[in-house]
Amino acid sequence: MQRQITDKSIARFKFRVKALTRRSRGVSFQKVVADLNPLLRKWDGYFGFGQAYQLRPLDAWVRRRLR
């Protein structure tokens, strides 16, 4: 049985990313990326070892949010 990231954790991650990448936030792109980096590094460090295959769709989703 493989370990998986729970749906609740993914939803909480997406909520945080949405809050940081809102267009109405009124900050520069560099500031958004600087604020987003600690969250992404934390997630990669915690979940990346065993569940890297589950992080690929989330990575694509975050990149799409930044566009």
Q: What is the mean pLDDT of the chain?
A: 88
Domains contained in the chain, number: 1
Q: Which domain holds residue 55?
A: 26-67
Domain annotation covers residue 51? yes
Domain annotation covers residue 10? no
Distance CA 65, CA 6 (A): 22
Residue burial 26-58, b: 16+ Cβ < 10 Å; e: rest: eeeeeebeeebeeebeebeeebeeeeeeebeeb
Domain annotation covers residue 39? yes
Whether residue 67 has pLDDT greater than 90: no
Condensed to tens digits (0 to 9), the pLDDT of residues 5-26 reads: 889 999 999 999 999 999 998 9
Distance CA 65, CA 45 (A): 21
Domain annotation covers residue 19? no
Domain annotation covers residue 1? no
